[in-house]
Structure 1
Amino acid sequence: MDIIDNYLDTMFASYPLTPRTVEAKSELRAMMEDIYNGAIAAGQSRNEAVGQALAEFGNMEEVAAVLGDPSGAPIEIAAQFDRNRPAVSMAQARNFAAVSEKTRWLLGWAVAIFVLAPAPLVSLSIATSDPNLPVSKALASTIGIVILLPLVAIGVGLLVWRNQKLEPFNLITQGQGHITPEVEVFGAAVRREHSNSRTMALIIAIVLWILAGIPLISMGVFTQDMPQPEADQYLAVGMAITLVMVAIGLLLFLPANWANSVANRLSEDGMAEAREDTSDWEMAAYPTWVRAFMAGYWPIMVTIYLTWSFIGDAWGTSWILWPIAGVAFGAISAILYAVYRNNDTQQGR
């Protein structure tokens, strides 16, 4: 019951220590413990049971109105947040945690796919550097691009899908609301309940990332006495294995980090960070096709860069793409901002 005790300590921190407050705190704890035990007996998870207990006895204003101070005047609760912002309710917090858990794999697969997407292009281009092979380098690069583009599109689609699932929770993700103590304690409970699985996933991911360089290094050592065209084929295999190991690490860790992310969002510090980082808030003003384009812009630029470099063997000149892409992105962003922000202003949003 440490979570409920921590919540009650936070809840009563602004009250003077009197027999009246001690008695009220003890009674509240007993009632919350009964609800918690009843929820556990009914088959709910520890997380759900804590949420139910906090939801039924989590209103500080009501407690303040009942207790008051020894003179009978209401006790002023310390201002821990901006009262001009709507409070995040316990129901919203629970729903946000549930949707974050359900969509955790969308983020993991999207990032893993972005890492794996260039693997066929890079590996085939390296492996077919020998002009005596029946498959030309140009054909191999074309095959790699044909594989890469759909993978990038799938990754972007997964990110857009996840953002749409989380869009109803802009109050939380964009820092538009304030966090009450009971919601913050609930977020900490979610983090604690899933901390072991996150730690295990992080350990495995770190091991994979550390070992990811071994295949490529081993192939380099193994082929150092081979002719370069023959060695390139082994190096291509090593490169592919390295990228796969990195992708697996990301696929394991990112989904397991969902509870920690939820806890950060359901805290006043997380709200303050979200308000400072207004990029997601601003993107919410754009239609879906614009957000999809913005999400896929840089993966597309990477595709163009690799295609140009491998097929045209233009490593010495293809770097010029990056400053051009940067200027173009800035110009496109400015135009979209002007168009859609002006529309919002005219509509009074």
Structure 2
Amino acid sequence: METIMVYLDNMFAGLPRTPEVERMKQELLSGMEDKYLELKQEGRSENEAVGIVISEFGNIEELMAELGIQPDDMQEIVPTLTEEEAHAYIAAKRSAGFWTGLGVWLSAIGVAFMILINTLFESLGSSTEQDSLGIGSVLGMSGLFVLVAIAVGMFIYSGMKLGRFDYIEKEFQLPRTLLMTLQRSKASFALTYRVALITGVCLCILSPVFVFAGAYLNDTYAVYGTSALLATAGIGVFLFIYYGNIQGAYTKLLEYQHLNAAKREEARVERAVGAIVWPLATAFFLFTGFVYQRWDINWAIFPIVGILSGSFSNVYHLVKDKKSS
């Protein structure tokens, strides 16, 4: 039956998506299913039953004539994703999310390592204070740049893994059986995604507790608390990116294909803005940290940017809706 469904989806891919066409498609599917089951009861093999059903139920020209559709009304044929392509895309998104999330966490660990090393060397005896500060700065900066370099490599690698799926950004369709399979997979993943999201939010919200607890003891422990804050918040961000990528893959396959050209353009604009805003936020985070030594509070840049990104999305949709009305 899967072969018949795929054949029917491809057969109707170029026809206008009108209620009449959808009704005809459902009637054909019902008739094909009945004929297929009848042939199977007669003892026909799978291939024989499928071949007879496909050959007996007309062709695209007959359908167009019955529906009164002229060749000029035909839409551009939308490619159909295979099961292998869909699962390969989900696997690539999962892998890209892992490496991107790990890269973000390593970047946070790099900053935490630099702060920790500088603080440890500052706590050495006063007789060697100048040498300790110099060694601590060199070791801290070296560790930071090494970890950031590794993180950048992970970002590039994750982007390369998704590069071969650029065609999914365009319009496509899914066979009925694959659509149902992906819907079940997304439903079973929903609980995992919610738990990961809640855990990540809790980690980000609770991470400043390390700073407050350290400040309660003394200033030195407050700096250690900042390192713990970055490491903990980094884990939360990793959860957002990793599980968000998997959820995004299901959303893209199940929902993106139904968006019209305007909606797809909105999605592209939002991604383009995000690609600019988040690197700028990271650069501002590092600048305020290195120049003004405000690692204790500049972590708030990222949640603020997240809120502003969501606000931009809402405002953009309102402006587009107002222009179209």
Structure-2 residue corresponding to 1:273:
263
Q: Identity across aligned pairs (percent)?
A: 10
Structure-1 residue corresponding to 2:114:
125
TM-score, with structure 1 as normaliser: 0.57
Structure-1 residue corresponding to 2:189:
198
Give per-residue Cα distances to partners, 1:130-186, cap 9 Å, x unaligned.
6224562453133112211221122122212321x214xx2x4234xx65xxx3745
2:213 matched to 1:244? no
Cα 1:142–1:305 shift into 2, 3 Å:
farther
Distance 1:206 1:35 in 2: 50
Structure-1 residue corresponding to 2:129:
none
Structure-2 residue corresponding to 1:149:
149
- Contact 2:214–2:220 under 8 Å retained in 1: no
Alignment of 1:1-349 (within 5 A): 13-14=19-20, 26-31=30-35, 62=59, 65=62, 74-76=66-68, 83-89=74-80, 92-127=81-116, 128-129=118-119, 131-133=122-124, 136-163=136-163, 165-167=164-166, 170=167, 172-175=168-171, 179=173, 183=174, 185=176, 188-267=179-258, 269=259, 273-274=263-264, 308-313=287-292
Distance 2:219 2:184 in 1: 53
- Contact 1:112–1:251 under 8 Å retained in 2: yes
Give per-residue Cα distances to partners, 1:18-76, cap 9 Å, x unaligned.
9xx96x5542233567999xxxxx9xxxxxxxxxx9xx86xx9826716x8xxxx6223
Distance 1:224 1:103 in 2: 43
Cα 1:272–1:35 shift into 2, 3 Å:
farther
The one-letter amino acid paired with 2:165 is L
Unaligned runs of 5+ in 2: 41-45, 125-131, 299-325
Distance 2:217 2:110 in 1: 23
- Contact 1:219–1:238 under 8 Å retained in 2: yes
Distance 2:97 2:263 in 1: 23
Give per-residue Cα distances to partners, 1:106-152, cap 9 Å, x unaligned.
32124303421321232123333462245624531331122112211
Cα 1:210–1:160 shift into 2, 3 Å:
same
Higher fraction of helix: 2
Q: Secondary structure at the match of 2:67?
A: coil
